[in-house]
Amino acid sequence: MRHPLKELKGFHEFAEEEMKRWKVPGAAVGIIKDDEIIMAEGFGYKDKERNLKVNPETVFAIGSATKAFTTAAMAILADEGKLEWDKPVREYLPEFHMHDPVATERMTPRDLTCHRSGLPRHDMMWYNSPFSREELLRRIRYLEPNKDFRSIWQYQNLMYMTAGLLAGRVAGTTWEGLVQERLFEPLKMTSSNFSVEDMKKQPDHSLPYQEKAGSAEQIPFRNIDAIGPAGSINSNVLDMANWVRFQLGSGEFSGILSAGSLNEMHTPYIPCDPFMKAKEIPISSYGLGWIIEPYRGYRMIHHGGNIDGFSSLVSFMPDEKIGVVILTNMNASLLPNVLAYHIFDRMLGLCDIDWSSRLKGEAEKMKAALIRQDRTAHLSKIEGTQPSHALEDYTGIYEHPGYGELKIELTDGTLQALFHSFVMPLTHYHYDTFEMELKLSETTKLLASFTIDVNGHISRFSVPFEMAPGAKEIEFVKKPDERLSDPEFLALLTGVYVLEDGTEVAVSLGGERTLRVTLPGQPVYELVPYRELTFQIKHLPGYSIRFETDDSEQVKGLRFIQPNGEFPAVRK
């Protein structure tokens, strides 16, 4: 639909030129003014390879623009008296547990949704992982904060996932069911859904792309259903235009949410990092699923979205009754901002600003900073060193209680880490530090290191998955041989063993997967799997038991290994 507004004259040519500049194959633009959709159009291609054009019905992933749907659903429940923004989360989700005990007890739905949990992003915990939404919630307790609770704004997708779980629980359904019934249906968002699996089944959807070597390259869809309330919605400009009309207080949709709750969503609660440093946008704050900023003297509310192959921006000025929706099929693109700012400038009658050049400059600065960071890291490399162990010794399965398992393999003489379906080659850097290559939208090189325990064995693998200031490296602990927890194998180790002085030692099962040892006049000790046939004695540092076998692999005895010596025992 084209509108004869003089303010939009020449916009189509501008948009097409900017798409070429930013290497974006396809985009959809929606503009709302005074509750009327004055533009809903497609530009370029949803499928570049087959020359299929974008139209207003074409569905794109909207990424983190999903977050405001989660808070709107929560606001509806608040209107109905079913949810209180400032009541502890544990009153709705008793299983909710943070690493920080204070945050565990005091975290509220408002804290979850305005990013003041104290946690850095920890995105590699969920990204590409096999964990369900409920499993992610259980693992949150093992993620360390880098800031005090409520002290600072830090973007956090897992908190939004938690908010969605909470809302679904309160409503007696799922997050998807709640948003579908209370938002999609009354807003007539008939093409919107919650998963790329559903999106791919739709006859009119865009393919995802990323820029590579100066052109757009198609990439796979990324399923993020588990983190859904933070960013899994897919939609088109027609549906999203109705969403913006609702946010602007449209009369047609006035019964969905009270004016007070709508205003509460648009209220700043914590200062946040500005998208870019510009005098026209001097400060930035976060509300409930929305960023609130002054834009050239006008109040602008917006939220972007970026997920593999798609970038979006939903923005509006409630006082001027102007809204803009930009959906694109390019990974991590700033084109949505370029187009939205340009539209607002036109609609407000402001002098033109070359936002494209400014944002290109910002993007180049970011790339340059990453290059400098990489070069700086390499300045510390110590030449002429070797790993402390044979490469085979580094192999095995390592585990972090939050992030899950990471496997180190040796393939064709090269170590590689396997984590959440990522295959990351390891190149020796110095000593027991290796350069790990992580391929996301861009290739990132991380310096990861192995740790040796007091017995000289490789015991841990530390990776700087979380780069926020003050964040600790993620430490994966090497798991013992799986058979040391196998009930059938453990049963082979049970029995009575006799020390040289005649003392009998009983080894028995203390549970399906646990061994225990009993000596006369002493408490029962639990054995903790360590490596090969060795178990550590729980709560006794430096004490362990190693089982010994004969040439036929039959257990013939054991050996107590203690700070004061080794003491063999023969199987009775």
Both 496 and 552 in one domain: the answer is yes
Handedness of CA 206, 207, 208, 209 (dihedral sign): negative
136 vs 128: CA distance, rounded Å: 12
- Kindly report, residue by residue over 154-171, the tens digit of the pLDDT: 999 999 999 999 999 999
120 vs 134: CA distance, rounded Å: 20
Which amino acid would we find at residue 545?
Answer: I
Average pLDDT along the chain: 96
Which CATH number goes with the domain that contains 514? 2.40.128.50
489-499 mean pLDDT: 97
Both 337 and 440 in one domain: the answer is no
Helix then strand then coil, in percent of the chain rounded to 5, is: 30, 30, 40
21 vs 356: CA distance, rounded Å: 9
Is the pLDDT confidence value at 390 over 90?
yes
Both 112 and 224 in one domain: the answer is yes
The verdict on residue 1 lying in a domain is: no
Residue 202: what pLDDT?
Answer: 98
Both 396 and 526 in one domain: the answer is no
Residue 5: what pLDDT?
Answer: 74
- CB-based contact 167:73 (threshold 8 Å): yes
- Secondary structure (H, E, C), 170-225: HHCCCHHHHHHHHHHCCCCCCCCECCHHHHHHCCCECCCEEEECCEEEECCCCCCH
Both 532 and 458 in one domain: the answer is no
**CA–CA distance from 129 to each of 125, 222, 270, 480 (Å)?**
7, 11, 31, 23
> Which tokens is 160 given?
């939004």
All residues at 6 or more sequence positions from 113 whose CB lies less than 8 Å from its CB, including other chains: 67, 70, 71, 74, 159, 160, 163, 288, 289
Both 436 and 298 in one domain: the answer is no
Residue 374: what pLDDT?
Answer: 58
572 vs 503: CA distance, rounded Å: 11
DSSP line for 361-395: HHHHHHHHHHHHHHHHHHHT--TT---SS-GGGG-
The verdict on residue 540 lying in a domain is: yes
- Kindly report, residue by residue over 176-202, the tens digit of the pLDDT: 999 999 999 999 999 999 999 999 999
> Residue 522: which pLDDT band, with cuts at 50, 70 and 90?
very high
- Kindly report, residue by residue over 25-79, the tens digit of the pLDDT: 999 999 999 999 999 999 999 999 999 999 999 999 999 999 999 999 999 999 9
- Domain range for 187 is 6-369
> Residue 378: which pLDDT band, with cuts at 50, 70 and 90?
low
Q: Which of 193, 118, 113 is nearest to 149 (CA)?
A: 118
Is the pLDDT confidence value at 497 over 50?
yes
Which amino acid would we find at residue 381?
Answer: K
Q: Which of 236, 229, 243, 239 is nearest to 316 (CA)?
A: 243
Both 468 and 496 in one domain: the answer is no
Is the pLDDT confidence value at 2 over 50?
no
Both 432 and 504 in one domain: the answer is no
Both 334 and 466 in one domain: the answer is no
- Looking only at the bridges linking them, the beta strands covering 310-317 and 298-307 are antiparallel
Residue 6: what pLDDT?
Answer: 84
- Kindly report, residue by residue over 251-284, the tens digit of the pLDDT: 899 899 999 999 999 999 999 998 888 999 999 9
Both 400 and 275 in one domain: the answer is no
- Kindly report, residue by residue over 66-125, the tens digit of the pLDDT: 999 999 999 999 999 999 999 999 999 999 999 999 999 999 999 999 999 999 999 999
Residue 438: what pLDDT?
Answer: 94
23 vs 210: CA distance, rounded Å: 9
> Residue 7: which pLDDT band, with cuts at 50, 70 and 90?
confident
Q: How many domains does the chain have?
A: 3
> Residue 369: which pLDDT band, with cuts at 50, 70 and 90?
low
High-pLDDT (> 70) share of the chain, %? 97
550-561 mean pLDDT: 95
Count of CB atoms situated within 10 Å of the CB of 520: 8
